[in-house]
Structure 1
Amino acid sequence: MFKKDLTAGAKSKVKSSVQRGIRAKVLETYPALEPHIDEIMPKKSQVDVVKLPDRVSLYVLDDRPLFYQHMDDPITPHLKIVHQYPHAFKTIRIDRGAIRFVLSGATLMVPGLTSPGGILPDKEEEAKPGDVVAVSAEGKEEVCLIGQLEMGTEEMKAKKKGVAMSAGHYLGDGLWKLDLS
């Protein structure tokens, strides 16, 4: 989604009522962020929205990216937020062989998750199609990708092939390099 270098479009202030709505949506989607929401989006702060290409809205606080949203897709945290609070997001892991493809913007394929080195959650923590998940890499500490799943984790374990995630925000992409100052 953000393969090429991005240029920030118009930046505008978000009304306090809309800001409360964004905050509520974030907590509804990521309940584990509840103890940290005041650090991420303090109630009295001014959140701005930056328009990006392809109808993406990026919510920022003091030139620090927080979340982005593509049209009606779920609100998705920027990787810098995921790196600060990694425990707050459902996480799957790719094997070593998939790392270079993911970091070049390729579609995340199921074999990278089901082969040795890849980890999918247990039945109790199953992720469904449409869920936003963080993707860590075998042998690495930081999350390298976040995006919306196209296939549930149980279906991935059964089929062992297909597309897991076609677009997302990864380390080194245009959104990661975006200069908001």
Structure 2
Amino acid sequence: MKLKKRNFLSNKEKKKLYEELSSTFGDKAFHFFNKNDKLESAISDKGEKLILKDGRIWFFYYNDKLYPTIRCLRGTGIDISSAVVDIGAIKFILNGADIMAPGVISFESGIKAGDFITVKEEKAKSIIAVGLSLINSEDFDKGKKGKIIKNLHSLKDEYWNFQLD
């Protein structure tokens, strides 16, 4: 991935970014960055809108809504609602596949369709992907078939591997 355009965010733009994150993540948004962080707005060669911190992608836009990357969530330690997948599903998820019901071991309660959630692997419980839930948690049933999480970003993808030279 290459960047076509980059510029540092002003304090006013950071405040707007914080407000945008607050609408989705509430008080947790306060922990994503502080006012002294040097954040950059960027556009990729594919037209993707991104926010960088320390040369790494920290946030990305999907359907005009701002979401944190795995690197951001791991770096800040912020806990977001999650689903846990079995080992057999990991290979497919890391290749960008959406998360299917049979591969999910647990689905945190309180999740609504459309919520941004993390996908964790069962042994270390580390984040391997982030996405949007396609179902409500009360509708989760391991025996069901079909997609239950839209995979937006995973380890091994362009967002994870990106580093400014």
Q: For residues 85 and 41 of structure 1, what CA distance do their matches in structure 2 show?
A: 8
Which residue does the alignment assign to 2:2? 7
Deviation at 1:96, TM superposition (A): 1.7
Deviation at 1:148, TM superposition (A): 1.4
Counterpart residue identity of residue 138, structure 1: E
Which residue does the alignment assign to 1:153? 137
Structure 2: state its 5+ residue gaps: none
Structure 1: state its 5+ residue gaps: 1-5
Which residue does the alignment assign to 1:3? none
Deviation at 1:159, TM superposition (A): 7.3
1:29 pairs with 9, 24, 31, which one? 24
Is the counterpart of residue 102 in structure 1 residue 97 in structure 2? no
Which residue does the alignment assign to 2:62? 70
Q: For residues 158 and 103 of structure 1, what CA distance do their matches in structure 2 show?
A: 21
Is the counterpart of residue 42 in structure 1 residue 34 in structure 2? yes
Task: Give the length in aligned residue pairs.
Answer: 165
Q: Which runs of 4+ in 1 moved over 6 A?
A: none
Which residue does the alignment assign to 2:163? 179
Which residue does the alignment assign to 1:84? 75
Counterpart residue identity of residue 41, structure 1: F
Q: Name the SS for the 1:134 alignment partner.
A: strand
The superposition leaves residues 52-101 of structure 1 with CA deviations (integer Å, 9 ceiling, x where unpaired) of 255421111231332111242x3111111211344521111011221111
Residues 155 and 53 of structure 1, relative CA distance in 2, 3 Å threshold? farther
Q: For residues 49 and 18 of structure 2, what CA distance do their matches in structure 1 show?
A: 15
Residues 163 and 180 of structure 1, relative CA distance in 2, 3 Å threshold? same
Is the counterpart of residue 138 in structure 1 residue 122 in structure 2? yes
Q: For residues 92 and 31 of structure 1, what CA distance do their matches in structure 2 show?
A: 20
Counterpart residue identity of residue 65, structure 1: I
Residues 100 and 120 of structure 1, relative CA distance in 2, 3 Å threshold? same
Q: For residues 90 and 141 of structure 1, what CA distance do their matches in structure 2 show?
A: 13
Counterpart residue identity of residue 175, structure 1: Y
Matches within 5 A, 1:111-130: 111-113=102-104, 118-122=105-109, 126-130=110-114
Q: For residues 124 and 40 of structure 2, what CA distance do their matches in structure 1 show?
A: 33
Structure with greater strand share of residues? 2
Is the counterpart of residue 19 in structure 1 residue 14 in structure 2? yes
